[in-house]
Amino acid sequence: MTNPIRTGVVGAGLAATAFHVPLVLSLPELFVLHSVVERTPPADRPQGTVASKFEVSVNLVRKYEDLLSNPDIELIIIATPNATHYNFAKAALEAGKHVLVDKPVTTTYEEAKELGEIAQRKHLVLYAFQNRRWDSDYLTLRKVLEKGTLGHITDFVSHYDRYRNFLKGSWKETASPGTGLVYDLGTHLIDQALHSFGRPSKVTAFIQNLRGIGDDSVDDNFTIIMHYPRSDTNPYLLTVTLRAHPLSQRTPQLRYTIRGSKGTFVKYGLDVQEEQMKEKGVQAFGKDWFGKESDDIQAELEVVEKEGDNEPIKSRIQSERGAYQELYKNLAGAIRNNSEMAVKWSQAAMVMLIVDLAVQSSKEGRTIDVPSVQY
Amino acid sequence: MTSHQPIRTALIGLGIAGSGFHTPLILSLPELFVLCFVVDVDTSPHRPGSANDASFAAKFGANTKFTSNYNSVLADQGIELIVIATPTNTHFEFAKAALGAGKHVLLDKPVTTTHNEAKILGQLAEERGRIIYAFQNRRWDSDFLTVQRLIREGILGDITDFESHYDRYRDYLKGTWKEQAVPGGGQFYSLGPHLIDQALHCFGRPTSVTGFIQNIRGTGDLSVDDDFTVILHYARTDKRPTVLTAILRGHLLSLRKNQLRYSIRGSHGTFSKYGIDPQEEQLKQHGAAAFALSDFAIESPDIWGTLETISTPPSSSASSTSGDDNGSESSAQTGNNHSSGSIVSIPIESERGRYQDLYMNLFATIRTNATPAIQWSEAELTMLITELAIQSSKEGRTVQVPPADAVPLLKETSMDSSSTRKATTSPRRLGWSLFRSSVHRKGDTESTRMA
């Protein structure tokens, strides 16, 4: 007997329509899309953007408070502009709802910490939408790291580069809290690195507006370096470098260059799920091509059998299948069965801590020590 | 040039630089140079080139004499040029003595261990009316010549991101002086000056520097670095409408058959290159006979670089390839958002490397007062940036680069003569304010920077 989780989505922009709504609709045994909050539906679509785009019947709610006060709603998905995440999430938790919040979960560490404490106190699931843990490339990389194929990692470089010499004119490019590339793309890269290597001891960042277009205070380029000391598990120093370049004429773009004491892992390209979901919506799921990337962008490995060998052997690795639905399945399990959350809120809060420190480092022109935090 | 007499030369230092580079180069240009003496003060039995073996004449020429007495060479009026290829922490003293004796000097890199020492040598050379020339041979590496051509011809447009690497894999200690905690020791002093010199030559004086210089392997003396990342930050200027970041990297635990050498992004394209210039290996294997090889300094096509560029100019309109995706991440990433043109990938044949050009230019500079391809002020700037990178790494902060006219020559102190690595010309200690772009940019005349 299924008991799908009655879900409300706040926001009807890209995050909602490209990601959350299709994912919810694709798992009808786990979720039912009950309501959508859209303050101002388009004039030609009075039933709301979501209902019209996905041809589903769903309650259109104009005011968030009405969603919060509806006792039928169990889970609220927050897919609104970054600066509003904290307020919406807090209100949802205080109304006794479980919450899935898109990244960046807040705009500061303190906000994230506060939300986590509320959720803990009220025994609610508070889940960060770090979907790129289930990107093909990251899943492929995780397998390699878990096997120890590369030995001890000394240099981990992760890129989100693109070529865009104009502004798209969205809220993301105007100067307000939580805008800019560090909050938009940096949070993904930071989350993956923290997930793989834990908390760094120091952060250095260079965050700037490279193209010189639009608001100069909104960054379109970053380099964030996370420094890791020697440890029981790694006798070498590790440097993690996260980069995003907005004027990179390459195809496919470089994604990872990872070097360890026994080998090197290089990958180009980008996970296909987002494009597939945008194109096919709910129809994308369950297809044998969903989440499958082209062989052209398979990762390349150069490894030696044992440390000390000098002649690496090249090979290519079959890409793992991308699997965004796994996040949602894990979310459902956490809500219904108290299963362990794959994305822990403390990890999401740590991402915001690193973002805070990166912004500070860039402003002050110095490397910042990462405090050990309770949360 | 043939109407001029060859320059009578003495070489001091017979390690890898002396025996591997300078000797074959000098011997390959008999119309320009005569190798009169080789000087080796190191009496270790393991050193190559000790005069006692029979192969000496084969290696250094039948007419070359060996001596361990540097002063006698300096006193010899017939000797015009001293080539200094000894360990870095001896460069300053040997060069000072040579200039003091009225000789021209070719000084291996890094020229000194401090910026101030480099300035002292420059001033001494000027006072004596002698040439002092920095052996930045990698200006004539195939890969760098290729990069220079692409930048100079505007093929890459305005450069925004310049990554330059010397990576390799070594998990053991070689047991050389470079691994000891002496001034000039460590991987950064060994490889950094090449990368720094090349970047400065392309882009001029940076606004600020960030350095991460560390011992990552945890072997040997932990105070001796084996890994470095030096970032040169260039602010927007009238000539350069976007910011530029140059990342210079030397990683010693990199397992790759063909190491990444350059990844350069500009407004018109991206250039990626792997592998290493073949001249060093060819010289190692063949000595002076290397120059006669038909494939000398020619890179094999499997390490030619790749240019990626949009085949038609990008539109400046906001149209995107996928409908109403407002601020999407994916069109951010799969795209290459432009409404026309797609990215093409073009192999770029490597320029032929030409280490001999350095020596030929040195000859022309000495004999005919030709303009040196490497200005001594560029070598001074390289040492300044080297010091600032070390300071940045030590202090955990980005360090501003003072303007060209702002760093005065400090009279020699006992610290200088012992060649410590301390940044004696720390901008903070001198109390300099931040670089202001409105100040007349003397830096423009310092380097033969491309437009």
Spell out the domain ranges in chain A.
Answer: 5-131+327-341, 132-322+355-369
pLDDT higher than 50, residue A302:
yes
Q: Determine what percent of chain B is predicted with pLDDT higher than 70.
A: 81
Write out pLDDT tens, residues B263-300: 999 999 999 999 999 999 999 999 889 999 999 999 99
Nearest to A31 by CA among A135, A127, A138: A127
Quick check: A249 and B251 CB within 8 A?
no
Quick check: B316 and A184 CB within 8 A?
no
Mutate to test the interface with B, among A102, A163, A221 (most CBs of B within 10 A): A163
What local confidence, expressed as pLDDT, does residue B2 receive? 53
Residues B92 and B163 in one domain: no
Residues from chain B that touch A237, judged by Cβ atoms under 8 A, are: 214-216, 218, 227
Residues B186 and B334 in one domain: yes
Residues B90 and B161 in one domain: no
Residues B195 and B324 in one domain: yes
Among B231-245, B333-347, B422-436, the minimum mean pLDDT is found in B422-436
The answer to whether position B76 is within a domain reads: yes
Write out pLDDT tens, residues A38-71: 999 999 998 999 999 999 999 999 999 999 999 9
Residues from chain A that touch B341, judged by Cβ atoms under 8 A, are: none
Q: Determine what percent of chain B is predicted with pLDDT higher than 90.
A: 69
Quick check: B337 and A223 CB within 8 A?
no
Identify the domain containing residue B267 by its residue range.
Answer: 139-348
Write out pLDDT tens, residues B87-134: 999 999 999 999 999 999 999 999 999 999 999 999 999 999 999 999
Residues B364 and B336 in one domain: no
At residue A54, the 3 state secondary structure works out as helix
Quick check: A165 and B338 CB within 8 A?
yes
Contacts for B67-70 with beta carbons within 8 Å, 24 or more apart?
Answer: B67/B37, B67/B38, B67/B39, B68/B39, B68/B40, B68/B41, B68/B43, B69/B39, B70/B12, B70/B39, B70/B41, B70/B94, B70/B97
Domain count, chain B: 2
Give the Cα separation of B196 and B48 in Å (integer).
Answer: 30
From B123's Cα to the closest Cα of chain A, the distance in A is 34
Tell whether A179 lies on the interface with B, counting CB pairs under 8 A: no
What local confidence, expressed as pLDDT, does residue B52 receive? 56
pLDDT-derived band of residue B447, with 50, 70 and 90 as boundaries? very low
pLDDT higher than 70, residue A305:
yes
What local confidence, expressed as pLDDT, does residue B380 receive? 97
Q: Which positions 123-162 of A are in contact with B (Cβ < 8 Å)?
A: 154-155, 160-162
Angle at A98 between CA A93 and CA A100, to 5 degrees: 100
At residue A256, the 3 state secondary structure works out as strand
Nearest residue on chain B to A179, alpha-carbon basis: B327
What local confidence, expressed as pLDDT, does residue B46 receive? 45
Residues from chain B that touch A324, judged by Cβ atoms under 8 A, are: none
The answer to whether position B255 is within a domain reads: yes
Tell whether A375 lies on the interface with B, counting CB pairs under 8 A: no
Residue whose token pair is 């508070």: A126
Asked if B314 contacts B341 with a C-beta cutoff of 8 angstroms, the reply is: yes
Quick check: B160 and A210 CB within 8 A?
yes
Q: Determine what percent of chain A is predicted with pLDDT higher than 70.
A: 100
| Cβ-nearest to B336 among A251, A259, A307 | A251
Quick check: A302 and B161 CB within 8 A?
no
Asked if B402 contacts B209 with a C-beta cutoff of 8 angstroms, the reply is: no
Give the Cα separation of B68 and B297 in Å (integer).
Answer: 33
Quick check: A257 and B260 CB within 8 A?
yes
Residues from chain B that touch A236, judged by Cβ atoms under 8 A, are: 216-218, 253
What local confidence, expressed as pLDDT, does residue B315 receive? 52
| Cβ-nearest to B325 among A185, A249, A278 | A278
From A339's Cα to the closest Cα of chain B, the distance in A is 30
From A79's Cα to the closest Cα of chain B, the distance in A is 13
The answer to whether position B171 is within a domain reads: yes
Residues B33 and B54 in one domain: yes
Write out pLDDT tens, residues B153-187: 999 999 999 999 999 998 888 888 888 898 888 99
Rounded to an integer, the average pLDDT of B419-430 is: 36
The answer to whether position B319 is within a domain reads: yes
What local confidence, expressed as pLDDT, does residue B449 receive? 38
Residues B207 and B334 in one domain: yes
Quick check: B398 and A185 CB within 8 A?
no
Asked if A24 contacts A31 with a C-beta cutoff of 8 angstroms, the reply is: yes
* CATH H-level superfamily of A132-322+355-369: Dihydrodipicolinate Reductase; domain 2 (3.30.360.10)
Local structure of residue B176 (DSSP, 8 states): S
Mark which of B309, B331, B348 sits at the end of a domain: B348
Rounded to an integer, the average pLDDT of A7-13 is: 95
Tell whether A313 lies on the interface with B, counting CB pairs under 8 A: no
More confident residue, A126 or B439: A126
Residues from chain A that touch B160, judged by Cβ atoms under 8 A, are: 210, 245, 247
Write the CATH number for B444: 3.40.50.720
The answer to whether position B390 is within a domain reads: no
Residue B294 neighbours by CB under 8 Å, 6+ apart: none
| Cβ-nearest to A154 among B216, B231, B333 | B216
Mark which of B313, B331, B348 sits at the end of a domain: B348
Residues B315 and B336 in one domain: yes
Quick check: B330 and A210 CB within 8 A?
no
pLDDT higher than 60, residue B419:
no
Write the CATH number for B166: 3.30.360.10
Asked if B32 contacts B7 with a C-beta cutoff of 8 angstroms, the reply is: yes
Q: CA A278 → CA A185, A283, A285, B41, B326, distances in Å? A: 18, 10, 12, 72, 12
More confident residue, A371 or B441: A371
What is the CATH T-level fold of the domain A5-131+327-341, as seen in this structure?
A: Rossmann fold (3.40.50)
The per-residue DSSP string of B220-268 comes to: S-TTS--EEEEEEEE---SS-SS-EEEEEEE-SB---SS-EEEEEEETT
pLDDT higher than 70, residue B62:
yes
Residues B305 and B434 in one domain: no
Residues B121 and B232 in one domain: no
Do the bridges between strand A59-61 and strand A31-37 make them parallel or antiparallel, or are there none, so unpaired?
parallel
What local confidence, expressed as pLDDT, does residue A121 receive? 98
The answer to whether position B381 is within a domain reads: no
From B376's Cα to the closest Cα of chain A, the distance in A is 31
Q: For chain B, what is the mean pLDDT?
A: 84
At residue A299, the 3 state secondary structure works out as strand
Residues B87 and B155 in one domain: no
Nearest residue on chain A to B169, alpha-carbon basis: A310
Residues from chain B that touch A42, judged by Cβ atoms under 8 A, are: none
Quick check: A212 and B397 CB within 8 A?
no
Nearest residue on chain B to A246, alpha-carbon basis: B332
Nearest residue on chain A to B314, alpha-carbon basis: A165
| Cβ-nearest to B329 among A161, A184, A251 | A184
Rounded to an integer, the average pLDDT of A74-90 is: 97
Asked if B62 contacts B5 with a C-beta cutoff of 8 angstroms, the reply is: no
At residue B404, the 3 state secondary structure works out as helix
Residues from chain B that touch A277, judged by Cβ atoms under 8 A, are: none
Residues B304 and B183 in one domain: yes
Write out pLDDT tens, residues B370-395: 999 999 999 999 999 999 999 999 99
Write out pLDDT tens, residues A126-161: 999 999 999 999 999 999 999 999 999 999 999 999
Nearest residue on chain A to B260, alpha-carbon basis: A257
